[in-house]
Amino acid sequence: MIMVQPLFTAEQVREIDRQAIQTLSITGYDLMQRAGLVLFEQLKQVSAHKEAVHIFCGAGNNAGDGYVLAKLLLESGITPHVYALSVGADLTGDALSAFKAYSQLGSVNNVLPTELSSGVIVDALIGTGLNKPLMGAYLDAVKLINRAQLTTLAVDIPSGLNADTGYVQDDAVRADKTVSFIGLKRGLYTADGPSYSGKIMLDDLSVPQSLFAIQPVETEMLSLAELKKNHQPREKNSHKGDFGHALMVGGDHGFSGAIRLAGEAALRAGAGLVSIATRKEHAAFISVARAELMSHGISGRADFKKLATWSTVLAVGPGLGQTPWAYELFEVALDLNKPMVVDADGLNLLAKEPRKNNSWVLTPHPAEAARLLACTTQQVQCDRFAAVKQLQQQYGGVVVLKGSGSLICGGGNVYVCAAGNPGMASGGMGDVLTGIIAALLAQGSSLIEAAKLGVMVHSVAADRAIASGEKGLLASDLMPYIKELMNEY
């Protein structure tokens, strides 16, 4: 079992906050003071001495954290520029207390500046309290912050980013660093979250771990370190039959490269044998390009069924197409009742005739997920957590919803992969992932473990492959790093 880091919804963190106040004999204002001190220390790491500090404060506890920080800056000899979007009756509770404490020493600006040309920005506008689209002065403040392009520190979560989904509806603060309090919010790690959060730092504000255990863990972040612990070396007397036979199905006219990439990835991820079922015109080319792949030209149902009988696991979809040939192979694959990875055109065929199967791993990108759910891509991206759960409930097995912060669901918790980079937005990357997961299934991993390990190996391999930059990253560039990762223990 891979150990993982729990991720929380905004409400779960608020409940932990409430429990801390009730059981530890502390006040919400005490926690706010702790948060302000953490921000003060973090700010020193990102700003030069005596550099101008611009703090944007809203109305809730996020603003209160900002006012505590402002007071600490004043006491240290730095006069911050504090822009208050809400004052008077709009401020209540601990946020009002923090505002009053700061106001005894410093002043606030109730009018936003036209531009900011220097200094460091602190976003204490909204935090996890976002429950409607940004508008008015708040939207103006976010646009001003982003337009300035100054080093920006977000308090808890960038304002405008949904803490639960990672979705940005209108605009959000693009932070260089986000200091998250008590627990990591799951929206930081998927959809728009990684683009807006910058480097993420967590401080639990000395809340004891026993209080975290009260909250049910529903979302978890995968860890490469734990992955390495659970991947064991091979026995000395191993033979290729011990590591399974993966059959890759696809490569219609014009798409032979897709199935070849999937096959080579399966080899690099440790499958004992890898066969290719493809168009007859492509078989020889694939064998020449990678001699270790056993490539077979398939005319139709009979050819394929005979070949597939000897396989341990199937991977259906890379370059498959949606022709009668493709549909025939897909139907045979389903009838074999073997563990299967379904990607690309395999998913498109499935969307046309939906069915449920508890023996497969589906790996849709957002557009494919939208076709499977008969909705729009935007609806998928608005709440990727809901989408991956709905896909799993409707289609069974394990679902990997690809994209920034890939999500994995096998009917229980949702797992988040925080690795990966924008260079992966290129043709063939999904084919490589299909091959890796198929190889892990062939070697005996369960569906959920193969999906988790596969996604992590794929993403970390891509991160290692961008030493010279993200642009121009090829799917084939991942191959040596896949092998490297599979041999780290």
pLDDT tens across 453-470, in order? Answer: 999 999 999 999 999 999
Which residue bears the tokens 């897909």? Answer: 330
Domain boundary among 197, 215, 233: 215
pLDDT bin (cut points 50, 70, 90) of residue 46 is: confident
Predicted confidence (pLDDT) per residue in 51-77, tens digit: 899 999 999 999 999 999 999 999 999
Q: Tell me the two tokens of residue 206.
A: 């000395």
Residue 267 sits at φ, ψ, to 5 deg, of -65, -45
Whether residues 360 and 250 share a domain: the answer is: yes
Grade residue 2 by pLDDT with cuts at 50, 70 and 90: very low
Does residue 209 lie within any of the structural domains?
A: yes
Residues 291 and 428 in one domain: yes
Model pLDDT, residue 304: 96
Based on the fold, state whether residues 379 and 277 are members of the same structural domain. yes
The answer to whether residues 209 and 254 belong to one domain is no
Residues 148 and 31 reside in one and the same domain = yes
Evaluate whether residue 2 is within a structural domain.
Answer: no
Domain that holds residue 54: 8-215
* pTM listed for this prediction: 0.96
Q: Are residues 245 and 128 in the same domain?
A: no
Same domain, 251 and 174: no
Final residue in a domain of this structure, among 215, 239, 274: 215
- Same domain? 249 vs 358: yes
186 and 335 housed in the same domain: no
Co-location of 210 and 229 in the same domain: no
37 within a domain of the structure (yes/no): yes
User: How far apart are the C-alpha atoms of 113 and 83, rounded to whole Å?
Assistant: 9
**Confidence check: pLDDT of 253 > 80:** yes
Domain membership flag for residue 220: no
Domain co-membership, 263 together with 117:
no
| CATH code (residue 146) | 3.40.50.10260
Considering the domain boundaries, does residue 54 fall inside one? yes
CA distance 327 to 168: 38
Q: Is 19 in contact with 211 (CB distance < 8 Å)?
A: yes
Per-residue pLDDT band at 4 (split at 50, 70, 90): low
Residues pairing with 248 in the sheet: 276, 315
Residue 319 has a CB neighbour count (10 Å cut-off) of 28
Return the sign of the alpha-carbon dihedral for residues 26, 29, 31, 36: negative
Residue 50's pLDDT is 73
Q: How far is residue 268's CA from residue 287's CA, in Å, rounded to a whole number?
A: 16
Choose the final residue of a domain: 177, 197, 215.
Answer: 215
Provide the domain count of the chain.
2
**HEC profile of 356-374:** CCCCEEECCCHHHHHHHHC
Confidence (pLDDT) at 131: 84
Task: Write out the two tokens for 331.
Answer: 């139907």
pLDDT band at residue 335 under the 50/70/90 scheme: very high
Inter-CA distances, 177 with 22, 43, 196, 198, 222, Å:
31, 10, 9, 5, 21
**314 and 209 within one domain:** no
106 in a structural domain: yes
Give the orientation angle of helix 366-373 with respect to helix 345-352, to 10 degrees: 10
For residue 1, tell me if it sits in a domain.
Answer: no
